[in-house]
Structure 1
Amino acid sequence: MTEAAPLFDDLADAPPGGRAVWLHPADGPRIRAAIWGAHAAKGTVFLFPGRTEYIEKYGRAAGDFAARGYATLVVDWRGQGLADRAFADRLIGHIGDFDEYQRDVDALIALATAEGLPRPYHLMCHSMGGCIGLRSLMRGLPFASAVFSAPMWGISMAAWSRPVAHVLGRLAPIFGQGHRYAPGTGGQTYVLAAPFQDNVLTTDPEMWEYMRRQVAAHPDLALGGPSLGWLGAALRECGMLATMPAPTTPAVTALGTAEKVVDVAPIHLRMAGWRTGRLDLYQGAEHEVPMETPAHRSRFFDSAATLFSAHS
């Protein structure tokens, strides 16, 4: 019997009938999951959000998938959204090892099975969720196809700072400093601190306001900068994934030509070697292609539905 969790339907702008539940992965932290369109006919989309994100941010995406015949299962990863957080300062985004996220994935699959969500299962992963999703595919989890949006297969930073980041990320936890904010970051939530004109997420003002309204209304959803522990874990995971061959899962990766958040070189390299994969470029789009202008959004969700349908 699952325990009901809060779901802010008033701001999610999602299909009716959604519900959220608490999940307890094997190692203990409580996470939140939400289901929309549980009785959809064509299958279920597991939606893996990026760092700082939360369930309600993908309410409109659930609507886009529902309109195309798919149920959507979304998660608050440990350490963000309403899931349990590691420290008293809720704004620090922290993880000790990216393997922990795979325990969250396992809990999601167990929920989908228990709820009898329609098969086949497909993946939609954004940013950090793309790193988690790629590892899930390499583990052989039961996803028929996958769509990635600006996947974090590398972290964008100046070349000179990369070796420094590796050293800090490795040594900080050893010396009990893994909980500190990574250099250049702090306890500010990006969408509330940055002006629309200079933001690196979307060129669509209405989608920008959609994100801002949610975090302003429910500050517990907000997240600030990553910890040194998260930085070290992310660099290690990206490095390990880069050494592994592409999975055989059919995949499409969407990337904006104005991307400034993740490192684009590993994306091009990975997709060039993905025999069953394709890279789609979105002219002028920024980091969040699924939350870009209406034309980009329609193209993205149509492309996803076409892939899912072809591998059902």
Structure 2
Amino acid sequence: MPRLERGRAQGAGVASLMEIDEPPLAFSASGAGPVDVPAVVRSTYVAADRYGFVTAVDGATLRFGVWHARQPVARGSILLLTGRGEFIDKYAGEVIPELLARGFAVYAMDWRGQGLSERQLEDRQKGHIDRYDTYLCDLKAFLAGVVAPEAPRPIVALTHSMGGHMLLRHLAEQAGDTPIAAGILGAPMTCLRHEAIIATILVLLPPVAAIDQRYFYGSAPFRLIGREFTGNKVTHDERRYRFTEAWFDADSRLALGGPTVGWLRQTLRSNKVLAEPGYLERARTPLLLLTAGQDLLIDGRTHVTARSRLPNCRHIVYADARHEIMMEIDPIRARFFADIDAFLARHAPARS
């Protein structure tokens, strides 16, 4: 990919930017847009107006997409921060069109190690990170190189799971020095379910590359075989549950398997950072924290504690929702959008 190599050459200490303009549904395999779009979302899918790569300070390339507001004067911008294993295209089938209909521009980035951003390991299927400070630096590179210079204000972050974790880390670390005016935390990753058991296992595994780069117990490359809807942990909606595999089939570069030992080790370390006294208290940005009452991946009980420590946060629980609230059945999604509409009306009101 010659464009990626040029990005590396510019990446010595300063984030650089590459943009690729390509027509909807006609992307090249070497570009920043998807090769194809699954039939299941084709009728509602909206391609980004601009795809590109921002180069992080260490030279890694991070894929992003920009959707311009569909009206002359934008209401503001949504910064979409996805969860572990996700990719921006998954949200372009339904969620991003909903945001565009509300008058917002949308900015989204694939986290390092997933989507079309640079992978950490030779085995592209392994979900891995060396440390969460790397994610923080990547987010800062995207904000500084793409979002802050051009995004219509106000900028509101809409996050899911790990994306919510990273928003909390960013707001606490930056202590107000950020272009983000408000944030929505969808099932934020503040503590994993069964985290104590995972920690016990990790203690027995030496923190060396040969171990950390292995799949964690029970994790494996993504396989469609055995991926049954019954018993899944993320949604009650089977059509939306199939979005991930449909996208992997449409563009195999997006495929990602389970987490490595190292990813889980670093996740638990970062969760401890969130729990440090005085840390979340530094995040004074207005926040809406949304808990999935039937979450089998995140320990939603820790959201109550997080809410009590965040200076400017409202907390709502969806008792009937699983982990991916934005990918849930229509009645749950309707309540979700009603709640975020009320939040946005205060922090990004519609322009007359």
Q: Percent of pairs identical after alignment?
A: 30
Work out the CA distance in 2 between the residues paired with 1:37 and 1:300.
23
TM-score (norm 1): 0.91
Work out the CA distance in 2 between the residues paired with 1:133 and 1:17.
23
Q: Which residue of 2 aligns with 1:20?
A: 51
Q: Which residue of 2 aligns with 1:83?
A: 117
C-alpha change, 1:217 and 1:81, in structure 2 (3 Å) is same
Q: Which residue of 2 aligns with 1:32?
A: 63
Does 232-241 or 297-306 show the bigger shift? 297-306
2:146 aligned residue (111, 119, 122)? 111
Matched, 1:258 2:291: no
- Larger helix proportion of the pair: 1
User: Is the Cα–Cα contact under 8 Å of residues 131 and 151 in structure 1 kept in the other structure?
Assistant: yes
Q: Which residue of 2 aligns with 1:144?
A: 181
Q: How far is the alpha carbon of 1:276 from its aligned partner?
A: 1.6
User: Is the Cα–Cα contact under 8 Å of residues 53 and 80 in structure 1 kept in the other structure?
Assistant: yes
Q: How does 1:75-224 map to 2 (within 5 A)?
A: 75-109=109-143, 110-114=145-149, 116-138=150-172, 139=174, 140=176, 141-157=178-194, 159-166=196-203, 168=205, 171-173=206-208, 176-188=210-222, 193-224=226-257
Work out the CA distance in 1 between the residues paired with 2:203 and 2:157.
30
How many residues in Structure 1 have an aligned counterpart in Structure 2? 307
Work out the CA distance in 1 between the residues paired with 2:32 and 2:325.
27
SS at the partner of 1:113?
helix
1:273 aligned residue (309, 315, 324)? 309
Q: Specify the structure having the higher radius of gyration (Cα).
A: 2
For residue 299 of structure 2, what is the amino acid of its counterpart? D
C-alpha change, 1:17 and 1:257, in structure 2 (3 Å) is closer
The gaps in structure 2 that reach 5 residues or longer are 1-16, 21-30
Matched, 1:238 2:271: yes
Q: Which residue of 2 aligns with 1:10?
A: 37
Q: Which residue of 2 aligns with 1:71?
A: 105
Q: How far is the alpha carbon of 1:83 from its aligned partner?
A: 1.0
Work out the CA distance in 2 between the residues paired with 1:299 and 1:133.
23
User: Is the Cα–Cα contact under 8 Å of residues 191 and 298 in structure 2 kept in the other structure?
Assistant: yes
Work out the CA distance in 2 between the residues paired with 1:137 and 1:186.
33
SS at the partner of 2:194?
coil
The gaps in structure 1 that reach 5 residues or longer are none
Does 260-269 or 294-303 show the bigger shift? 294-303
